[in-house]
Amino acid sequence: MINKLIISVAESLLMARWRQTLVAALGVTFSIAMFIALLSFMAGLNDLLDGLILNRTPHVRIFNEIKPSTSQPIERDSVYANAHHFIHSIKSANSRQWLYNSGAIIQALKKEEQVLGLSPKLTAQVFFNDGSVEITGVINGIDVNAETKLFHFSDYVVAGSGADLTKIPNSIILGIELAGKLLANVGDVVVITTSKGEQFPLKVVGYFQSGLKEVDRTQSYATVGMVQKILNKPNDYITEIQVKLKDVNQAPALAKKFSKIYETDAEDIQTANMQFETGSSLRTLISYAVGIVLLIVAGFGIYNILNMMIYEKMDSIAILKATGFSGSDVNKIFSVIALSIGIFGGIVGLITGFVLCYIIDHIPFSTPSLPTITTYPVHYNPAFYIIGIVFSLVTTYLAGWLPARKASKIDPVIIIRGK
Amino acid sequence: MSDIVLEARQINKSFHDPVTTRVLSDITFSVNRGEFVSITGKSGCGKSTLLYILSTMDTDYEGELLIDQMSMRNKKEADLALVRNQKIGFVFQFHYLLNEFSVLRNVMLPGLKLKKYSEEEVEHRAMQKLKMLGIEHLARKKANLVSGGEKQRIAIARALINDPLIIMGDEPTGNLDKKNSDIVFNIFQQLTEEFRQTMLIVTHDQSFADRTERIIEMQDGRIISQ
């Protein structure tokens, strides 16, 4: 049992060397604060990078890919069922790109329990006419409301308003780089030419900046209906359905399922952006490793200081033992010392870590490629704080364990005789 | 009432490092309640070694040691610590106070460890002991700020706090001048006379020993007269 007496003796020993104690505690404080700041900052960065791509990426994309048929006519012939087929130069058929029966698919998807929402999309390759120059570009037909709700479309509209697309007929939002090339201001009219040669004048109602230059140079947005009109297609013509799920981890399974049910292609986010997943987990791993190394170094500091304290307090330990304190009592005293350094240093470290995060969170950070970011990203996660305090207690306890054992094994006779 | 509080039966001890040397041979004696006994002998005759065995701190010996008629053989370390706490009071040559604590707290520590009384009672008893030794004015001082003679008196107060069966002293006056030696001796004498406190004091100070009731003289690890 750790009782009041043990604690009071530990406290006196601590206070007798309060400077050393403070240094030891500061070591823990520093490492915990750094651990938390590092992890929060790294997690914030991960969120930011994920947000850059993953937030805007549908969890499952349903579309038709141009590819060769998987079954060739000869394979269906029962006469040659057991034969080996030599087929050369298979070409992709001139299959349709649009989703057949898209209306029904959308209705069915909306009823799926795991689907958070979906937004239809179609794309049209067009030329933007700028005097005699023609610039190739893409117009994405989107459902602005769904796109904003699910994929933060409005966040990336840096001038004008996304909602104007639905309000103003024949309107378009240009990628910011594209607008620069066309010298088109908000309110101007740009003329596009479709691949069939038809021309449409469209009013610019906003700029779009994704942060990815390549995207901003070619992409532009209009409503689904507008693009259908440009392509001269009926109003059930869409080429892609973007699905957002409640749980992103279900994406691979559901993609397979949708692909089977609707006889289309379906791609999940994990397959499409594998490198992001890897990058995030590696960064997290590195920050944990650095944080834990910091704590271990602090642990060695505590170990040193306790060892020194034991050499200094040999006489006191001997007298405690001579007057009736057992080895385990002495062990407890030094464990309490180590743990209180851990608790005190750890708690101050948590606070310092939080303050550091808060400061980082308020340092202005703006980059043209990330229009929604104004300060350094920080992710506040209680788990980091819990890991921090638990780890600080574990390291300090372990750091105190050996010195405490040593102290408990001190033979008072040797000390007293030695004088 | 002359019951035996401490009994040594054929205690032998050897040091094994670097070569086996016998330091104590066939030590057999007993101490009765209320006796004021001194152990004398030349430096190196094994008297301190004997005291450490009698005090249960040194367990590496052969033979039998009984404190309060209980054998100290085969007792666990924690049990021995309890025996020291409860039944033995120590006074060392070098006072050995805990410098981190106040004088009062030093005296109280063994009492707090024993937990026989509440903290307030222990404090009250500690003050009484200090008063008895005429040093109650030092109670609130830090232990490292008092003089050598005073330290030894504080150590005696600490030895008394749990009303021990026996007080053991290892050259308690060895480090003190004549005046302070006399004070310490008088305290010891007063304790035996007034409170029938049993004393076992190791000393090489012949004049100190001569004034005790009984002298055990040692030479080369043996008792030559008692």
- C-alpha distances in Å from residue B71, one per residue of B35, B60, B66: 21, 15, 4
Which chain B residues have a beta carbon less than 8 Å from that of A331? none
Do A146 and A188 fall within a single domain?
Answer: yes
Of A102-111, A134-143, A220-229, the range with the lowest mean pLDDT is A102-111
Residue A325 sits at the chain B interface (C-beta within 8 Å): yes
Q: Which of B81, B97, B98 sits opposite A321 (nearest CB)?
A: B81
- Write out pLDDT tens, residues A383-398: 888 988 888 888 888 8
Q: What is the pLDDT of residue B121?
A: 81
Nearest-Cα distance to chain A for B204, in Å, is 15
B95 — pLDDT class (breaks 50, 70, 90): low
Do A255 and A345 fall within a single domain?
Answer: no
Do A221 and A299 fall within a single domain?
Answer: no
Of A404-408, B1-5, B140-144, the range with the lowest mean pLDDT is B1-5
Q: Name the domain boundary from A272, A297, A318.
A: A272
Beta bridge partners of A221: A140, A173
Residue A222 lies in a domain: yes
Do A173 and A257 fall within a single domain?
Answer: yes
Max Cα–Cα distance, chain A, nearest Å: 107
Residue A83 lies in a domain: no
**Residue in B closest to A13 by C-alpha:** B100
Average pLDDT, chain A: 83
| Residue B122: strand, helix, or coil | helix
Which chain B residues have a beta carbon less than 8 Å from that of A413? 52, 57-58
Q: Name the domain boundary from A255, A272, A289.
A: A272
Do A214 and A327 fall within a single domain?
Answer: no
Residue A85 lies in a domain: no
- C-alpha distances in Å from residue A75, one per residue of A87, A88, A327, A406: 10, 14, 85, 81
Q: What is the pLDDT of residue A375?
A: 83
Highest mean pLDDT among A239-243, A294-298, B49-53: A239-243
Residue A84 lies in a domain: no
Do A305 and A255 fall within a single domain?
Answer: no
Residue B77 sits at the chain A interface (C-beta within 8 Å): yes
Check A5 against B113: CB less than 8 A apart: yes
| Residue B199: strand, helix, or coil | strand
Confidence check: pLDDT of A94 > 70: no
Do A112 and A256 fall within a single domain?
Answer: yes
Do A237 and A317 fall within a single domain?
Answer: no
- Write out pLDDT tens, residues A115-155: 888 888 888 889 988 777 788 899 999 888 888 888 878 88
CATH number of B4-225: 3.40.50.300
Do A155 and A249 fall within a single domain?
Answer: yes
Which chain A residues have a beta carbon less than 8 Å from that of B97? 319
Residue B90 sits at the chain A interface (C-beta within 8 Å): yes
Structural domains in chain A (count): 2
Residues 6+ apart with CB under 8 A from A64: A95, A96, A97, A98, A99, A239, A264, A265
Nearest-Cα distance to chain B for A334, in Å, is 15
Do A29 and A164 fall within a single domain?
Answer: no
Confidence check: pLDDT of A1 > 60: no
Residue B85 sits at the chain A interface (C-beta within 8 Å): yes
Degrees (nearest 5) of the Cα angle A60, A206, A139?
Answer: 45
pTM as predicted: 0.69
Residue B52 sits at the chain A interface (C-beta within 8 Å): yes
Gap between the Cα atoms of B192 and B201, Å rounded: 12
Do A280 and A334 fall within a single domain?
Answer: yes
Helix count (H) and strand count (E) of chain B?
Answer: 7, 10
Confidence check: pLDDT of B1 > 50: no
Residues 6+ apart with CB under 8 A from B127: B104, B136, B139
Q: What is the pLDDT of residue A65?
A: 78
A352 — pLDDT class (breaks 50, 70, 90): very high
- C-alpha distances in Å from residue A116, one per residue of A154, A308, B196: 19, 61, 90
Residue A76 lies in a domain: no
Where in the sequence is the domain holding A386, given as residue range(s)? 4-54+276-418
Q: Which of A319, A324, A328 sits opposite B96 (nearest CB)?
A: A319
Give kind and range of the element (H or E) at residue B26.
strand B21-32
Q: Please give the radius of gyration of chain B, using alpha carbons only, rounded to the nearest integer.
A: 17
Please return the burial class of A197, using the count of CB atoms within 10 Å of its CB with bins 0-12, 13-18 and 19+.
Answer: exposed
Q: Which of B85, B94, B99 sits opposite A323 (nearest CB)?
A: B85
Domain spans, chain B: 4-225
A351 — pLDDT class (breaks 50, 70, 90): very high
Do A323 and A336 fall within a single domain?
Answer: yes
Residue A386 sits at the chain B interface (C-beta within 8 Å): no
